[in-house]
Chain A
């Protein structure tokens, strides 16, 4: 599904974010990318979203060279990917309902679909009673669950979760990982970046370890190895 071919990202001489990265993620996989801060995890996921352009090499989503896409096609591709961030990145002046509805509107869903699906997905992440709350009226765990709800609402083929538990306490961390596992069990590919040992060990699936922009290990059913 995702294919990195000799991808490098160099900001300047002293700042190499990615160096000659080659990796493949197949459909339905749950891949955890681990590494210390500055290892290149976030740059890697930004490449998949075309939020960053590689200095050299190519990134493919299925057979599409992501960085060759025109703006309009890139917008369509992003609708096939759900994203969850460490800092949630919710729309602060929209309610929980509107945050999710916005993603559906962006995907061209009808008002009827929106009004039937949004309450359902909010129930799924246990936020049924927070439908009219603004993000600032919710706890960190609730905000992250809302971000996950937004990411899955359009039934994307791929979920990218960039340090989704970084700002959460252990209980919320556990809940978020359980949701991501459930999503993966239903067939959606998940790419998770983290430096949380407990998270990696509890997922127990493929682990790619990065260090200074390079992939140094790629273990099936791997454990945290830094």
Chain B
């Protein structure tokens, strides 16, 4: 315990006495943490946009006019049990007619033709939304499968519009998965570059103390007593850089929220405030671990016999 207390105290004293060198390391760590924060916000925009696109995609199962409602509901409940399905909404034949009339209320010939028929020509339909765009095909396949046929699906289903929309859905699916892969790759590259730069800056600050590490070794200090204060210093770099980063992103997100919400589709300030705790934890852990691990690796090479 007393050793730990001494190590922590020495880390704080070293940080304050190293002056500009310490602040240079804090600055570089701040840049790394800013990159990570920016990536978190950009990912939020990307996923929000992709989510919106995903929400616009669905598959509709149209039923025959004579399809009994209880059989439709049976099919609905079996669709809802599929793990790929996020939501199934039922629209009755009457509701379908009402919507049709509303949509075409200014299309006089169509409404007149509808009135002349007297009977409702429209059947009920089920609107199915999958959890992932890529899962629509398996839902469409289910409709063709024995399970659906047992439920009478083959007799009551008029058509499933998946096959008309297949090309658009497939294209959208590949765009979404491509965007996700690209985002992941760019994120990875940026994070690796930032970490390497920070690691080298911290290594440089420790390189300055190379001689002193040798002296400490000859005085008989244990490895932990030598590299402990450097690791504490690394943690301090991370903590201060976290505070600076979060302070920088406060006005940045306010500006983005005021000026870019319509373009981005997401209010950045709202997102930043409502996810502040998560962002804080991610940034703090990244900064502190980066500082500690970089210091540990950098001092280790001077600690061998």
Taking Cβ atoms with an 8 Å cutoff, the residues of A that contact B are: 49-51, 53, 71-72, 74-79, 81, 83, 89-93, 102-103, 105-107, 110-111, 150, 154
Contact, CB under 8 Å: A75 / B221:
yes
Contact, CB under 8 Å: A105 / B14:
no
Contact, CB under 8 Å: A110 / B220:
no
Q: Name the distance in Å between B143's Cβ and chain A's nearest Cβ.
A: 69
**Of B14, B212, B219, B220, which contacts A76 at CB under 8 A?**
B220
Interchain CA distance A71-B304 in the complex, whole Å = 8
Chain A residues near B18 (CB, 8 Å)? 93
Contact, CB under 8 Å: A150 / B223:
no
Chain A residues near B215 (CB, 8 Å)? 89-91
Known contacts A93-B17, A106-B225, A83 near B212 by CB under 8 Å: no
Q: Name the distance in Å between B14's Cβ and chain A's nearest Cβ.
A: 6
Give the number of A-B contacts (CB < 8 Å).
57
Contact, CB under 8 Å: B221 / A71:
no
Chain B residues near A51 (CB, 8 Å)? 218
Render B211-248 as a binary contact track against A, CB cut-off 8 A, 1 for contact.
11011111111110100000000000000000000000
**Of A71, A77, A92, A106, which contacts B219 at CB under 8 A?**
A106
* CB-CB nearest in chain B for A50: B305
Chain A residues near B225 (CB, 8 Å)? 105-106
Q: Name the distance in Å between B254's Cβ and chain A's nearest Cβ.
A: 41
Interchain CA distance A75-B217 in the complex, whole Å = 7
Contact, CB under 8 Å: A75 / B220:
yes
Q: Name the distance in Å between B25's Cβ and chain A's nearest Cβ.
A: 15
Q: Name the distance in Å between B18's Cβ and chain A's nearest Cβ.
A: 7
Whether B166 is near chain A, meaning CB under 8 Å from some CB there, is: no
**Of B14, B17, B219, B223, which contacts A78 at CB under 8 A?**
B219
Interchain CA distance A79-B221 in the complex, whole Å = 8
**Of A75, A83, A154, which contacts B222 at CB under 8 A?**
A75
Interchain CA distance A104-B6 in the complex, whole Å = 12
Contact, CB under 8 Å: B220 / A107:
yes
* CB-CB nearest in chain A for B14: A93
Whether B20 is near chain A, meaning CB under 8 Å from some CB there, is: no
Q: Name the distance in Å between A75's Cβ and chain B's nearest Cβ.
A: 6
Known contacts A91-B212, A106-B220, A107-B220, A71 near B305 by CB under 8 Å: yes
Interchain CA distance A53-B304 in the complex, whole Å = 12
- Additional 12 contacts, C-beta under 8 A, given A75-B221, A105-B221: A51-B218, A71-B305, A75-B223, A78-B217, A78-B218, A79-B219, A81-B220, A91-B215, A93-B212, A102-B221, A105-B6, A107-B220
Interchain CA distance A192-B174 in the complex, whole Å = 77
**What would be 20 A-B contacts, judged by CB atoms less than 8 Å apart?**
A49-B218, A51-B218, A72-B222, A75-B221, A75-B222, A77-B220, A78-B218, A79-B220, A81-B220, A83-B219, A89-B214, A91-B215, A93-B17, A93-B18, A93-B212, A102-B221, A105-B3, A105-B221, A105-B225, A106-B220
Chain A residues near B167 (CB, 8 Å)? none
Q: Name the distance in Å between B226's Cβ and chain A's nearest Cβ.
A: 9
